[in-house]
Amino acid sequence: MPPSGGDDNIQPVDLKAALEERYLAYALSTIMHRALPDVRDGLKPVHRRIIHAMSEMGLRPNSSFKKCARIVGDVIGKFHPHGDQSVYDALVRLAQDFSQRYPVVDGQGNFGNIDGDNAAAYRYTEAKMTEVAALLLEGIDQDAVDFRPTYNEEDEEPGVLPGAFPNLLANGASGIAVGMATSIPPHNAHELCDAALHLIRHPKAPLEDLLFDPANPQRGGIEGPDFPTGGIIVESRASMLESYRTGRGGFRVRARWSVEDLGRGGYQIVVTEIPYQVQKSRLIEKIAELLIARKLPLLEDIRDESAEDVRVVLVPKSRSVDANILMESLFKLTELESRIPLNMNVLSMGRVPRVMALNEVLSEWLAHRREVLQRRSRHRLAAIDRRLEILGGYLVAYLNIDEVIRIIREEDEPKAMMIERFALTDVQAEAILNMRLRSLRKLEEFEIRTEFDALSKEKAEIEALLASDDKQWQAVAWEIGEVKKKFAKATELGKRRSTFADAPDADIEAIQQAMIEKEPITVVISEKGWIRALKGHISDTSALQFKDGDALKVAFPAQTTDKILVFTTGGKVYTLGGDKLPGGRGHGEPLRIMVDMENDQDVLTALVHDPARKLIVSSAAGNGFVVTESDIVANTRKGKQVMNVVMPDEAKLVVPTKGDHVAVVGDNRKMLVFPLAQIPEMARGKGVRLQRYKDGGISDIRCFTMAEGLTWEDSAGRVFTKTKDELVEWLGDRAGAGRLVPKGFPRSGRFSG
């Protein structure tokens, strides 16, 4: 007989079948136990085990720090049978405030930096939990979640944490499994709580209602990702909505920058925030490589002046370089603009990997919070029942104190005798036997009755809670409300770091235009549509000459690098380059030579293009809407139709938006004041009614800040201001008729000054 373990015990198997079986086991292990987070607590197993191990070590937020070596040792020894370095790397990431929007671990020592430098070895660093980790664990000792045996069955570990904090969306997650991956950007906890509370109140609410609506800011909701490193998100609302609906998409994030004036026309650009997960040192190296390769002709030099905060200085080639175009070229060529992917592939209920929409993620988290509430309530109810049973026995003992003392002193089996004599339970009899003599006083009886009544009341409340779905959701909403207060936007940790802006796509032509010498000009357009550009900024236009029968329509200062937007009475917008305008000699050229403008249309007005600005466009009949300037830039001679008007109506007013209210004056000299937010934002259309008229139409519009009041100037140059209290009689809703204008208002019916 061959010895055990010899070659004769080797069984041949099919290689293909063996590989398939073993790779499938590996794939399932990677998906279920390594790479994908649980939708309920937002944690992967290694993170959950780190937090649980720290909890068992007593590393609460108010405790002292302990060496990371001890934490890592406990994690790999008790819960996580993997390498120490992988566990330490996971621990370090949980402590990095540039990786985690809401750090779960409070680290002391060198935990790495945004340059990509590694953390110090775990024998040098120390850590404990933050308030976020404490919230994730809240109720874990009250049977809130199920525990399971660890890998060696010597201990138990939670399968999921109670998760009072919306960790999955607040801190995000990323991971690569077999055949699938996940990538979830971090969000603002205050906004997530807003959305969750709305979902509790309206369980069937559409996804749109969970997102922040600029037209209804009081409702709150999720504006979009909120990255720990800040930055500016330049993704459109429609694109973000689609990403959240499908669970797949992405967000364009740009660095935050500003221009520092150096005097004498010189400036430098300072980058103070870079996109999420971009290493600053690698970014600077990339820009330096492009400089050496002469692929950034607009940039002279780059300096890293960062200390604790990011400060990267970009020096332009010359003072004539347009800072915006320089940055657009850098956004196009470097990681100063990055796309953060969204792939909400998570473990549903800890078992099934699937891509979920935003509202599904929140719904599963809320369902988990309700289950935790139920389990904690049942656990508390059981504890109350046990205590009430004991207190009931104490009360029987006090009512029969002499007999109880006699039984204890004289009977051989006092426990059995008390159970028989007073119909006590075994637990009650044991509790009575364990009472101290000092407890046999009248005050103690009063305290027991007080405790009994209080626990009975609490029991009734918990039973009512468990019997009512509405009360359970009210309790969950209260808990979420407390989290919302803790991470309110007024707090340092809770305030939003990433902001939103529109960012037009830069192209090679725009970069080339930056080489144009930046010079001041004055754009002049006549009533009959002749256009010219005078050198320099001219404030006095009275000396300008025009053809017979013609006069000044509009004149304004600009730069040769500016884009000029020309609006027509037909509702169209044409875009002209400041450097392409005819010179100031003579009367200029007809605008119709430069663009394809219809013969039945006239110039309404013109202005310098500001991509960040919004405009109110209005027809003579009083219809209007808000449009973003970046959406109306026309790149062809044909222009872009912005306002749809039908004769005899025509476009009449183009007013930049500012402040929070709008004052509209009609030809009937009636004025109406209403919130700017009541005017919808559109890319093109007829608009909505701004003011109601029986006869005539609109005369003028002015945007203003209500707190500063409404100001105008009469023909004599006198300035009038109406305060908020004085404007009450003109304040109403859009499409109202309004009231006659205040005393002192210009007879022309138009604001001036």
740 sits in which H/E element? strand 739-740
Residue 601 in tokens: 């249309």
Q: Which of 670, 668, 690 shows the shortest CA–CA distance to 735? A: 690
d(CA 680, CA 571) in angstroms, rounded, equals 17
d(CA 531, CA 565) in angstroms, rounded, equals 12
Asked if residues 620 and 652 have their Cβ atoms less than 8 Å apart, the reply is yes
d(CA 242, CA 378) in angstroms, rounded, equals 41
Asked if residues 65 and 108 have their Cβ atoms less than 8 Å apart, the reply is yes
d(CA 374, CA 708) in angstroms, rounded, equals 52
Local structure of residue 143 (DSSP, 8 states) = T
Asked if residues 466 and 378 have their Cβ atoms less than 8 Å apart, the reply is yes
Q: Choosing from 23, 26, 124, 151, which is the catalytic residue?
A: 124
d(CA 193, CA 353) in angstroms, rounded, equals 25
Local structure of residue 677 (DSSP, 8 states) = G
**Cis peptide leading into residue 648 (ω within 30°):** yes
Asked if residues 498 and 490 have their Cβ atoms less than 8 Å apart, the reply is no
Strand order across the 589-590 sheet:
552-559, 520-526, 530-535, 589-590
Asked if residues 596 and 638 have their Cβ atoms less than 8 Å apart, the reply is yes
Q: Which of 557, 388, 366, 531 shows the shortest CA–CA distance to 458? A: 388
Q: Report the chain's terminal Cα–Cα distance, integer Å.
A: 111
Is the CA virtual torsion 557, 561, 565, 566 positive or negative?
positive
Q: Which of 138, 165, 142 shows the shortest CA–CA distance to 60? A: 138
**DSSP bridge pairs for 304:** 312
In Å, how far are 100, 423, 575, 652, 698 from 385, measured between CA atoms?
A: 43, 18, 78, 77, 74
Q: Which of 675, 626, 692 shows the shortest CA–CA distance to 655? A: 626
88 catalytic per annotation:
no
Helix axes 442-467, 469-486, angle to 10 degrees: 100
Show Cβ contacts of residue 338 under 8 Å, excluding neighbours closer than 6 positions.
252, 253, 275, 276, 277, 278
The 3-state secondary structure of 390-454 reads HHHHHHHHHHCHHHHHHHHHHCCCHHHHHHHHHCCCHHHHHHHHCCCHHHCCHHHHHHHHHHHHH
d(CA 139, CA 492) in angstroms, rounded, equals 27
Residue 513: φ, ψ to 5°: -65, -25
d(CA 16, CA 8) in angstroms, rounded, equals 23
Residue 452: φ, ψ to 5°: -60, -45
Query: Which residues are known to be catalytic?
Result: 124
